[in-house]
Amino acid sequence: MNGKLNLFLAIALTYPLSQQAQGISEIIEQLKNSQCYTADVNYHILMSLQPDVDYHIKLESMISPADTLAPCNYVIDWTMSTPSGEQHGFSAYHDGNLYDFHGERLLEYHYDWDSIPFFPSAPKGTLPGIQKRVQFCSLLPQFLAEQLEEISSDPDKYDYSFHPDTIVNGIHCSAIEGVMKVNDEVCKEYLYAFDPKNGMPLYSEIENNPGALVEQTIITEYTGTTTGTNCTPVSDAALMERYPLIFEKFRESNYAIENMQGQRLPGFSLPTTTGERYSRRSGDPFRTLTIVVLLDPKSGFASQTVTEIRKAVEMLPVNADIIWAFTSNNVDEIEEIIPAIMPGEHLLMSAKSLARDCGVSAYPVTIITNDDGVVADVIIGFNNDMSSSVIQKAAVAAKQQYNK
């Protein structure tokens, strides 16, 4: 890249510095203000001492000017080719919530639960918040704008030139070329190419540690770019619908279920152990106060949970129905725990989808729901005071319901 870089820097001397600054500023504004963006990316890492690595990435972003933590909501879906097959992962951020799936682990971070990971760390904030350092987020136009702002505002660290009309990698484009220095030593060479019509990225080439034994080249090729104003919102529900198996199998956090109080219970349609079906839409009312119990029959506390909740319902001063929702589809396992149902009870199976929609990662979970379908309280796990906890929380819910 050195020969090409020197040529660009020589050409740049013919352009006044004011035009250079104006050109990069226009690119930054176009990137920042990209409302709804999608693109496919071929991402190549060429290393001197290790085998090359190739990724295919799908980018989606939606500008979020009111968010102080990140310039956009996003979904980054990636696939990496390896000798043993493809590996897959994704990262998604929206409104202070981050999900990062890789290596068969779904990590999640929520600002209103723990804000610390979202703030810069290390000396002088050199390490950005988690939402700004997940893999490949720097490829998004809104984050790329932040990189260019740093380049244009720190002449002691960055040299750059702007070329409004040139050819890079066979593409007609605008280009920004330059170097990054640390202690007067060049540690990075960079080249970014943009669509001259809308400012969206087309190509980039980054040379880390140029000339060193551990030299690394990263080449990014953007294709299939779309922009517009009709955004597809990023939300927990949309992500769970998009990645249902990942949320079912690899979710480790109880954040979602702990924050269900005051929300509507998700809709579901599940089979009973007798071959019928129990269905309700989100927002549908229940006949009365209803206790939804999500159970794994293999859990050591499943039978004890059933006993304690039945004991609690018998002692309640109001009527309450129970929905036993087992994640298993093995009728024998379920009926070993509940051989027969009592009046007001429903015995359902194959409830992994309901557990996923509620954000359940450990069992049992007891959801106390008002007759309007709104969650009044949640009990996670089993404890020795289970029946007392259910009586107390259900009685409070019933009182609130009566006073409406």
- Per residue in 36-60, pLDDT tens? 999 999 999 998 778 889 999 999 9
Q: Please tell me the predicted confidence (pLDDT) of residue 48.
A: 77
How far is Cα 264 from Cα 209, in angstroms, rounded to an integer?
53
- Number of structural domains found in the chain: 2
Q: Is residue 130 part of a domain?
A: yes
pLDDT > 80? residue 168: yes
Q: Please tell me the predicted confidence (pLDDT) of residue 16.
A: 55
Whether residues 265 and 176 share a domain: the answer is no
Whether residues 26 and 129 share a domain: the answer is yes
Whether residues 223 and 260 share a domain: the answer is no
Work out the average pLDDT over 138-162: 94
Whether residues 119 and 215 share a domain: the answer is yes
Q: Please tell me the predicted confidence (pLDDT) of residue 18.
A: 59
Sheet holding 105-110, edge to edge: 105-110, 97-102, 85-94, 72-82, 53-63, 36-47, 216-228, 201-208, 185-194, 171-182, 158-168
Q: Please tell me the predicted confidence (pLDDT) of residue 350.
A: 96
Structure tokens at 279: 């269905």
Whether residues 281 and 393 share a domain: the answer is yes
Whether residues 313 and 398 share a domain: the answer is yes
Q: Is residue 104 part of a domain?
A: yes
- Per residue in 181-228, pLDDT tens? 988 888 999 999 999 999 999 999 999 988 777 789 999 999 999 999
Q: Please tell me the predicted confidence (pLDDT) of residue 2.
A: 46
Whether residues 211 and 334 share a domain: the answer is no
Q: Is residue 72 part of a domain?
A: yes
Given a contact cutoff of 8 angstroms between Cβ atoms, the answer to whether 105 and 89 are in contact is no
Ranges of H-type helices in 17-164: 17-32, 141-153
Own/partner contacts of 15-18, CB < 8 Å, gap of 24 or more, are 15/161, 15/162
Q: Give the bridge partners for 327, in sequence order.
A: none
Q: Please tell me the predicted confidence (pLDDT) of residue 83.
A: 80
Q: Please tell me the predicted confidence (pLDDT) of residue 230.
A: 87
Q: Please tell me the predicted confidence (pLDDT) of residue 47.
A: 87
Work out the average pLDDT over 13-32: 76
**Band (98; pLDDT cuts 50, 70, 90):** very high
Residue 360: which domain range? 254-403
**Band (343; pLDDT cuts 50, 70, 90):** very high
pTM over 0.85: no
Whether residues 270 and 206 share a domain: the answer is no
Q: Is residue 154 part of a domain?
A: yes
Specify the range with the lowest mean pLDDT, choosing from 122-131, 162-171, 240-249.
Answer: 122-131
Whether residues 195 and 274 share a domain: the answer is no
Whether residues 204 and 258 share a domain: the answer is no
- What is the average pLDDT score of the chain? 90
How far is Cα 372 from Cα 366, in angstroms, rounded to an integer?
17
The percentage of residues in the chain with a pLDDT greater than 70, rounded to a whole number, is 93
- Per residue in 242-298, pLDDT tens? 999 999 889 888 788 888 999 999 999 999 999 999 999 988 999 999 999 999 998
Whether residues 264 and 143 share a domain: the answer is no
Given a contact cutoff of 8 angstroms between Cβ atoms, the answer to whether 204 and 31 are in contact is no
